[in-house]
Structure 1
Amino acid sequence: MAMWPELGFQQSPYATGPVPATEEGENLFVGREANAKRLANRLRSSELHPTIEGDNGVGKTSLVAVVGYRLRRDYERGDTGQALIPLPAPFQLTQKSDAAALERKVLLAVASAMIENHDLLKNGGHNVPDVSQVKRWLESPIVAGGGLGASVLGVGANATRSVAVNTGAGFNEEGLRSTVFGWLEQCFPTPQSGAFICVIDNLELLETSKDARALLESMRDGVLSQRGLKWVLCGARGIVRTSASSPRLEGRLSEPLELHPIEDSEISNVVARRLDQYRIADTAIAPVGPESFKFIYDVLNRNLRNALGYSEDFALWAYEEGYFEQGEPALGELLREWIKRRADRSNEDTKLTGTRAWEVFDALAIKGGSCSPGDYEEFGFNNPQAMVPHIRSLEDVNLVISSASEEDRRRKTIEMTPRGWLVRYARNGYSLSE
């Protein structure tokens, strides 16, 4: 038998992925109701696209998933005539991304969403295209052409038409754009009639706000301005705030909704809900209970994703070593010893020469684990360049991660890693206080 059913659970209660956009995800959603209300209000009531900013692993994707699920559910129930329907997957950007490729992905996803939600929108009184024609167009090896204004299905067509073999996924570029934009305007004639919700996640993968801003600016007059599309942009380390500050993006993106770690008073409920959700036996044994989870969360500087990952690592180790026969109370004590051993091993394996880098490391921990190159004076340096070699030394042993950018001094570009927090725990005498 697999491990989790043997322990009395349907699946791992410590999975690190975002909660799903389902009733299950809503049941697992803890400590974010105020943020959820703000995001839902911005999606319902503002023509600006919401943005969310927060550290990696803080729960941005889960927040968007649950809010999107609730908005769609409200429309399905008839509680509102505003059809806010999330696309099924977020869009991920990298430095190799370009606006044309992103727009094509978005428009193909919207066309598929029109098919998937045709009956829902039609029953709600929205004017949606004939789904059979949409399907044929998506799958057709032939496209109708004839000038930049040409399209198919009668949307945006002009008098000159020709037939050509399709070299894409059923569309030529201009036909795709004009037709899908026409569908959106037909289906969502006003902001209050609704929109498809599109998400760009992990905007920091573009590495600098300059790259992010350039890409967003190139989208400004296309999908970022199209009626019937509502965007949510998510990013870490201040990249959203600096990207959205571009004059060309004024009137498009809202001030970021800042997402902070879940409050200490709520964090035990995160695992309590998961244990309840996935428990399939009254005799189930939780490898990491609510209080033990809070301990891991505190050691790892209140990072939810990292705390869940370490909880699952412990569960696997304890199961493989045969410790579950001792019961849950003994597992709690064992977990603390396991964390101490991992912290000691990480500390012993860290080959960092010289005291100055350690001083920077300890000062960074006291500061909360993140800083900008512009904070050099707080670390006792005369200029940013003097601090750089020590940051590099810390990066070399995986105690910090840096994405410094000369133009982005306002961003928190230097952060301690989970391994860094374990080393800090060992160096601090296994104390969580500074």
Structure 2
Amino acid sequence: MSIWTEMGFQESPYATRPVPASAEGEALFVGREVVAKRLANRLTSSDRHPTIEGENGVGKTSLVSVVGYRLRREYEEGETGQAIIPLDEAFQLTPKETAASLERRVLLAVANAMIEHHGVLKRGGHNVPDVSNVKRWLNSPLLTGGGGGGSALGFGANATRTVAANTGAGFNEEGLKSTITGWLSQCFPTSQSGAFVCVLDNLELLETSKDARALLESMRDGMLSMRGLKWVLCGARGIVRTSASSPRLEGRLAEPLELDPIADDEITQVIARRLDYYQINDSAVAPVGPESFKLLYDILNKNLRNALKYSEDFAFWLDDEGHIGKREDDFGALFEEWVKREAAKSAEQTDLSGTRAWEVFGSLVSYGGSCSPGDYFEFGFQTPQAMTPHIKTLEDANLVQSSTSDEDRRRKTITLTPRGWFVRYARSGFVLPE
């Protein structure tokens, strides 16, 4: 039996994964209605691809999931003839991946989406390929073609059919692309017909805006121009804005939607909604209730993902220490003790004596927890290079993290870690700023 069942829940109400594109995600969605409407408008009413920018853990992927689910449901329920259907997976990149390898992954995901949503697309009047032929094509080295003026893989009527070996390098790349782009063009002949929504998440994994810009530019005339695909690009620390500023990408990408942390007056509702959704019965006892969760959220600089992670850590600590079965009021007192102990332990294990790093740390906190290399003067340094050793000291102590800086020194590439925020809480005497 899991500890969550013992506490009266189906599963962890503090899971850090993005909410799914489903009724579950809709039920857990709190505090984002204004930006959700803006994203929906951009997906349904523009040929440009929406972009979203916000700090790591703020909820960008969850926002896209819920908006995509709502638009798909509107189509399925006949409220609109525009089929906006999100793909099941979000795509992420590393510096080693190329536009070509991403394109192959996307096209195969589209082929599977054609199978999954074939029925609803057909009922809505969209021209979709025959599912049996798509399945055969995906799972066999044989390509079914048509004769007599028909089209391949189920589009249109064919007088005759042929089967050819699907093993040539040309088909592996160009054949794959031409086949699936053909499906997309016929299924979604105009932007108002709809599109499959592809999410390119965590662009900051590419480390520099130069890398991200090069990747996006290489996608410009391929995936970013492909009929029937609508992209949503997500990233943190300014990478979307700086990457999308390339002249080659003008007209392809929309200005970023800025996603701020969930407001203070709504954050307790986030966890209350989760506790209510996952509880098995009315006797469920939450290890971290709404008020305790808000305290943790504030300590961690309003990072939702980190607050959920540490809430789950506390639940496991309760089980390790044999506290499961106590009243919810007891959990609240234990939680405050646990948070202070974790913060104090992090501070005690951090020795930066004799360096200027603590001064830089304090300035970074007053800056809101993030800065760019170009902010060196505000930190009391004459050059970025003079500030670098102190940032490295803080990095080594796991108080900050930084990504590789490049020609754009405005990007917020230096940020406090969760451990850094715990240390800040301890050093303040366990007092939060007003």
8 Å CA contact 1:340–1:430 kept in 2: the answer is yes
Match of 2:233 in 1: 233
Residue identity matched to 1:131: V
Match of 1:342 in 2: 342
Match of 1:92 in 2: 92
Residue identity matched to 1:273: R
Match of 2:101 in 1: 101
- Whole-Å separation in 1 of the counterparts to 2:370 and 2:141: 53
Match of 1:315 in 2: 315
Deviation string 1:292-338 (CA, Å, 9 cap, x unpaired) is: 10000001110000000111111111122122444112211211111
Match of 2:421 in 1: 421
1:281 to partner: Cα distance: 1.8
- Whole-Å separation in 2 of the counterparts to 1:284 and 1:164: 59
Residue identity matched to 1:270: V
Residue identity matched to 1:13: P
1:266 to partner: Cα distance: 0.2
Residues 1:40 and 2:40 aligned together = yes
Residue identity matched to 2:222: G
8 Å CA contact 1:402–1:413 kept in 2: the answer is yes
SS in 2 for 1:47: coil
Match of 1:158 in 2: none
- Whole-Å separation in 1 of the counterparts to 2:174 and 2:191: 25
Match of 2:268 in 1: 268
- Whole-Å separation in 2 of the counterparts to 1:121 and 1:203: 31
- Whole-Å separation in 2 of the counterparts to 1:249 and 1:165: 35
- Structure 1 unaligned segments of length 5 or more: list them: 146-150, 156-160
8 Å CA contact 1:144–1:164 kept in 2: the answer is no
Counterparts in 2 of 1:145-164, with a 5 A limit? 152-153=152-153, 163-164=164-165
- Whole-Å separation in 1 of the counterparts to 2:33 and 2:300: 24
Match of 1:370 in 2: 370
SS in 2 for 1:197: strand
- Whole-Å separation in 2 of the counterparts to 1:163 and 1:2: 53
1:162 to partner: Cα distance: 9.7
Deviation string 1:121-170 (CA, Å, 9 cap, x unpaired) is: 1100111112222222222223489xxxxx95488xxxxx99445268x9
Match of 1:290 in 2: 290
Match of 1:172 in 2: 172
Counterparts in 2 of 1:28-427, with a 5 A limit? 28-143=28-143, 152-153=152-153, 163-166=164-167, 171-427=171-427
- Whole-Å separation in 2 of the counterparts to 1:360 and 1:172: 53
- Whole-Å separation in 2 of the counterparts to 1:121 and 1:164: 30
SS in 1 for 2:13: coil
Deviation string 1:54-101 (CA, Å, 9 cap, x unpaired) is: 000000010001011101000000000000000100111000110111
1:226 to partner: Cα distance: 0.8
- Whole-Å separation in 2 of the counterparts to 1:212 and 1:43: 22
Change (3 A) 1:77 1:162: closer
Match of 1:148 in 2: none
- Whole-Å separation in 2 of the counterparts to 1:246 and 1:182: 29
Residue identity matched to 2:425: Y
8 Å CA contact 1:143–1:172 kept in 2: the answer is no
- Whole-Å separation in 2 of the counterparts to 1:165 and 1:268: 56
TM-score (ref. length: structure 2): 0.94
- Whole-Å separation in 1 of the counterparts to 2:36 and 2:121: 24
SS in 2 for 1:224: helix
- Whole-Å separation in 2 of the counterparts to 1:132 and 1:404: 48
- Whole-Å separation in 2 of the counterparts to 1:265 and 1:376: 35
1:2 to partner: Cα distance: 2.0
- Whole-Å separation in 2 of the counterparts to 1:176 and 1:237: 35
Residue identity matched to 1:394: L
- Whole-Å separation in 1 of the counterparts to 2:210 and 2:143: 38
- Whole-Å separation in 2 of the counterparts to 1:189 and 1:325: 59
Aligned-CA RMSD value: 2.0
1:221 to partner: Cα distance: 0.6
Residue identity matched to 1:189: P
- Whole-Å separation in 2 of the counterparts to 1:138 and 1:290: 47
Deviation string 1:235-292 (CA, Å, 9 cap, x unpaired) is: 1111000110011111100000010100000000011000100111211111010001
Residue identity matched to 1:28: L
8 Å CA contact 1:285–1:324 kept in 2: the answer is no
- Whole-Å separation in 1 of the counterparts to 2:345 and 2:421: 13
Residue identity matched to 1:317: W
- Whole-Å separation in 2 of the counterparts to 1:167 and 1:286: 58
Match of 1:6 in 2: 6
8 Å CA contact 2:343–2:425 kept in 1: the answer is yes
How many residues are paired up? Answer: 425
8 Å CA contact 1:298–1:432 kept in 2: the answer is yes
Residue identity matched to 2:142: I
SS in 1 for 2:356: helix
8 Å CA contact 2:133–2:144 kept in 1: the answer is no
8 Å CA contact 2:91–2:201 kept in 1: the answer is yes
SS in 2 for 1:261: coil
8 Å CA contact 1:43–1:230 kept in 2: the answer is yes
8 Å CA contact 1:152–1:175 kept in 2: the answer is no
Residue identity matched to 1:301: N
After superposing on structure 2, the runs of 4+ consecutive aligned residues of structure 1 that deviate more than 6 Å are: none
8 Å CA contact 2:142–2:163 kept in 1: the answer is no
Change (3 A) 1:350 1:252: same
- Whole-Å separation in 2 of the counterparts to 1:184 and 1:2: 45
8 Å CA contact 2:210–2:406 kept in 1: the answer is no
